[in-house]
Structure 1
Amino acid sequence: MSALDEADDPFALFESWLTEAGEHELNDPNAMALATATPDGRPSIRMVLLKGFDAQGFVFYTNLESRKGRELLENPHAALCFHWKSLRRQVRVEGPVALVPDAEADEYFNSRPRDSRIGAWASQQSRPMAGRFELEKRVAQFAAKYAIGKVPRPPHWSGFRMTPTRIEFWQDRPFRLHDRIVFSRAAEGEDWSTERLYP
């Protein structure tokens, strides 16, 4: 395993690590922990799936009325953590988030399996339900409503793009002398500064 290099481009390095994870991780190499917080700083964290990535940032989708959706709309800053146990690597990302354009959300929504699109209408994500039958009933109702033709994207369902201002790469090394390097910048478009951290 080669050492991390301060001269690396963080997006290119992430892409190569994600590609390698796709070849080694058994399930969901694009899984990431997403940390959000309320406006008064109370944090929460959960696993979500990365659905898009390029030099503009990291994209994921959700019900905007869910806890994470509400927190991101109220406090548009977040942190991500990718942990690839089989590769003994981790990437941490921090930055502001913003909703993706409607056309981008529509394109991704329409690429999902039909049952997943129905599920986006049926699930009142993060809210209490009386029992599993309540969800199954809602699925049946929306499946009947959209039995013919296209299933439109719900107005409460969209994506967020995190524009990173800090990306930290960590990889395991012998004797706990791990390799850590941080790329940071004040805003999108600015040059990255780099620093190596003690393990």
Structure 2
Amino acid sequence: MSTGAGPRTVRELLFGLPMLSGELPGFEPDPDPDAATGAVPPTPFPLFLDWLGEAVAAGVREPHAMSLATVDADGCPDLRVVALRDATEAGWTFATHAASPKGRQLAGQPQAAIAFHWREQGRQIRARGPVLRADAATAARDYLDRLPGSRAASLVGHQSEVLDDPAALPRAFDAALARVTEQPETVDPLHALFTVQPLSVEFWQGVPGRGHVRLRYRAEHLGGPWTRERLWP
């Protein structure tokens, strides 16, 4: 670290950084019988749509970026950021290569946790539950909806494998892109769509200088009724 007037340790650097700065949106999850607004919906998806729409309107960068946590065969967690492809009452959908680490991990342990972090609004949404893989026809439609470069990258494959020769990557990508261009209906059979079906969804609203607001929706089983619970910060 610098030996000048600035921080000398990582801890000093971190403690000097602002948190939850600026004007943040409010969140009042407790129903008020005397108020026309303020009550939250009985299920989590409408609230997710509201928050997503507010994030888009507020100019949050890449609000569809979603952290995805899976578990390998040894029980060790893995984490990465993926793009949200769709969201419905049934859950949150993302795509991956079936032979990738996350694809293999989900095949062996079909459960996952996801999180959205919208820093500009001091908001987080977390969810977890079993994961369902879409059928081949649905995955194919998603694949063909992608830009040519994205389809070519999928056809290259080898995701997360060791790249011994960096020059092999542009050659493989150019060959895959040529194939996509010449055969636009080509579908990567290993392109997979997964949906995280939530059993727990938590909405977190940061509040500068005080305890944060946390609301959890919890279901005992898929399709079951939701319980809403306020949580301590």
Query: Would you say 1:74 and 2:108 are equivalent positions?
Result: yes
Counterpart for residue 3 of structure 1: 28
Q: Which has the higher strand share?
A: 1
Q: Distance in 1 between matches of 2:162 and 2:196?
A: 29
Could you tell me how far 1:151 is from its partner in structure 2?
A: 4.1
- Identical columns (%): 34
Counterpart for residue 50 of structure 2: 16
Q: Aligned match of 2:196 in 123, 138, 162?
A: 162
Q: Aligned match of 1:54 in 88, 110, 116?
A: 88
Counterpart for residue 124 of structure 1: 158
User: How much is the aligned-residue C-alpha RMSD, in angstroms?
Assistant: 1.6
**Tell me, which stretches of 5 or more residues in structure 2 are unaligned?**
1-25, 32-39
Q: Distance in 2 between matches of 1:143 and 1:32?
A: 27
Q: Aligned match of 1:98 in 123, 132, 135?
A: 132
Q: Distance in 2 between matches of 1:189 and 1:114?
A: 37
Q: Distance in 2 between matches of 1:177 and 1:194?
A: 19
Query: Would you say 1:188 and 2:222 are equivalent positions?
Result: yes
Counterpart for residue 72 of structure 2: 38
Q: Which moved more, 1:151-160 or 1:80-89?
A: 151-160
Could you tell me how far 1:104 is from its partner in structure 2?
A: 1.6
Q: Which moved more, 1:107-116 or 1:44-53?
A: 107-116
Q: Which moved more, 1:162-171 or 1:180-189?
A: 180-189
| Corresponding letter in the other structure for 2:203 | F
- 3-state SS of the aligned residue for 2:189? coil
Could you tell me how far 1:65 is from its partner in structure 2?
A: 1.0
Counterpart for residue 15 of structure 2: none
Q: Distance in 2 between matches of 1:198 and 1:24?
A: 27
Q: Aligned match of 2:174 in 124, 132, 140?
A: 140
Does structure 2 retain, via aligned residues, the 8 Å contact 1:184–1:193?
yes
Q: Distance in 2 between matches of 1:190 and 1:178?
A: 28
- TM-score after normalising by structure 1: 0.93
Does structure 1 retain, via aligned residues, the 8 Å contact 2:64–2:84?
yes
Could you tell me how far 1:12 is from its partner in structure 2?
A: 0.2
Counterpart for residue 186 of structure 2: 152
The structure with the largest alpha-carbon Rg is 2
Q: Which moved more, 1:80-89 or 1:102-111?
A: 102-111
Does structure 2 retain, via aligned residues, the 8 Å contact 1:90–1:169?
yes
Q: Distance in 2 between matches of 1:86 and 1:145?
A: 41
Could you tell me how far 1:25 is from its partner in structure 2?
A: 4.0
Flag as ranges the 4+ runs of structure 1 deviating above 3 A: 144-147
| Corresponding letter in the other structure for 2:104 | R
Partner deviation per Cα, 1:69-126 (whole Å, 9 max, x = no partner): 1111111111001100001000110000011122221111111111211111013111
Q: Distance in 1 between matches of 2:122 and 2:60?
A: 14
**Tell me, which stretches of 5 or more residues in structure 1 are unaligned?**
none
Does structure 2 retain, via aligned residues, the 8 Å contact 1:25–1:84?
no
